[in-house]
Amino acid sequence: MHTVHVAWSDALTGYDFGHGHPLNPVRVDLTIRLARALGVLDGDGVHVEVPEPADDATLRTVHTPGYLDAVKAASIDPSTVDLVHGLGTTDDPCFAGMHDASALVAGGTVAAARAVWEGRARHGVNVAGGLHHAMPSSASGFCVYNDPALGIRALLDAGAERVAYVDVDVHHGDGVQAVFYDDPRVLTISLHESPRTLFPGTGFPSETGGPGAEGSAVNVALPPGTGDAGWLRAFHAVVPPLLRAWQPQVLFTQHGCDSHVDDPLAHLALTLDGQLESYRVLHDLAHELCDGRWVATGGGGYALIDVVPRAWTHLLAIAAERPIDPATETPSAWRTHVQARYHHTAPRRMTDGGTPAYADWSSGYDPASSLDRAIHATRLAVFPSHALDPTY
């Protein structure tokens, strides 16, 4: 068994909405370059596999046939504006080859999920994945095909009966929640900036799952400006107790790093060090609860050079059981490449110098704190469904 199955091919950078679009594939290219320069992808335990595009039968397990036809048509004629299917908008402009590029991302995530479920790898990672906003019949929020939902569906179709999905992107994981809202086999947990201040405008604590699946959707809506201490307080107050109560067979996680203080599209204030702490905890929970079965993807993240490559290199390193000391210097060859290619001075270390300390929920609830009110609202909404006390 491999330690980690990594889905990667340079062709994954073909998921590209064009010049000026925030979702620039340079971020995944620089991630893999940094991971390779640090030796993260070396060794027998790391299996890097070139993905195959998801076929139509796989895509139809989440997406409607009409939507697939619309994406294929728009791939041939990128001037298409198809608002019914969310195509040709500012967020999701059409581009030549869009279907093939999107299917390749989806195929990478599905292959990683299958490798984990079949016991060929302990962990699976697709840093190009995490396109969690796509709906069954429409594109949304830079996402064409919803690869996390497709990966989870592949796990269910292979026999998994309890899958937990944890989404730490700054934006609500609305597409994944929508796909599985009525499915009691899937627990979705999303920690995100409040929908009152950020796209997509959903992810309130009151969204808790459909009939027969009550308590299977969990949303922590955090106030703008929340930093490491507050975010980790919320994470630890909600995620570990729910996962321990749920007892999943597989942990599937989405690691958008747009919660970072330097991200230009959102308003949380985490450091790389706070994000790294969540990766460590999720890895450990996968081993505690799922015999190590863990599938992880990338997601949002628009500080293309300063944040994303370091964050997801840490994610890859943890999945490879080769964690990187945050004090490690980024390789000079990588920094030189960044300077020469992008005329940008790259970060020198794998840390922001943050201290991921937080006050545990057991220290007490402060009703005067907007953060604590947000945490408390989530616990009140879903903890009783899992026979958990929302107060302590």
Q: How far is CA 341 from the centre of its chain?
A: 27
pTM for this prediction: 0.98
Q: Establish if 391 belongs to a structural domain.
A: no
Q: Establish if 226 belongs to a structural domain.
A: yes
Summarised one tens digit per residue, pLDDT across range 85-137 is 999 999 999 999 999 999 999 999 999 999 999 999 999 999 999 999 999 99
Higher pLDDT, 44 or 94: 94
First-to-last C-alpha distance (Å) of the chain: 40
Q: Establish if 84 belongs to a structural domain.
A: yes
Structural domain containing residue 136? 2-386
Q: Establish if 170 belongs to a structural domain.
A: yes
Q: What is the pLDDT of residue 190?
A: 99
Q: Annotated catalytic residue: which of 133, 171, 172, 260?
A: 133
Residue entry with tokens 């700054």? 170
What mean pLDDT value characterizes the chain? 98
Residue 43 — very low, low, confident or very high, per pLDDT cuts 50/70/90? confident
Closest CA to 252 of 306, 308, 189, 192: 189
Structure tokens at 49: 């596999």
Q: What is the pLDDT of residue 30?
A: 99
Is the pLDDT at 392 greater than 90, yes or no? no
Among 36-40, 160-164, 256-260, 354-358, where is mean pLDDT lowest?
354-358
Q: Establish if 392 belongs to a structural domain.
A: no
Alpha-helix runs per DSSP H in the chain: 26-37, 56-59, 65-76, 98-117, 147-157, 174-180, 228-246, 272-289, 308-319, 332-342, 370-382
Q: Establish if 108 belongs to a structural domain.
A: yes
CATH number at residue 148: 3.40.800.20
Summarised one tens digit per residue, pLDDT across range 72-86 is 999 999 999 999 999
Q: What is the pLDDT of residue 355?
A: 86
Q: What is the pLDDT of residue 376?
A: 98
Residue 258 — very low, low, confident or very high, per pLDDT cuts 50/70/90? very high
Is the pLDDT at 251 greater than 90, yes or no? yes
Strand partners, 253: 166, 296
Active site residue 133: yes
When pLDDT is averaged across residues 369-374 and rounded to a whole number, the result is: 98
Q: What is the pLDDT of residue 170?
A: 99
Summarised one tens digit per residue, pLDDT across range 307-364 is 999 999 999 999 999 999 999 999 999 999 999 999 999 999 999 999 899 999 999 9
CB 360 within 8 A of CB 241: no
Report how many domains make up the chain: 1
Q: Establish if 314 belongs to a structural domain.
A: yes
When pLDDT is averaged across residues 13-21 and rounded to a whole number, the result is: 98
Q: What is the pLDDT of residue 314?
A: 99
Report the percent of the chain where pLDDT is more than 70.
100
Summarised one tens digit per residue, pLDDT across range 136-169 is 999 999 999 999 999 999 999 999 999 999 999 9
Residue 213 — very low, low, confident or very high, per pLDDT cuts 50/70/90? very high
Q: What is the pLDDT of residue 344?
A: 97
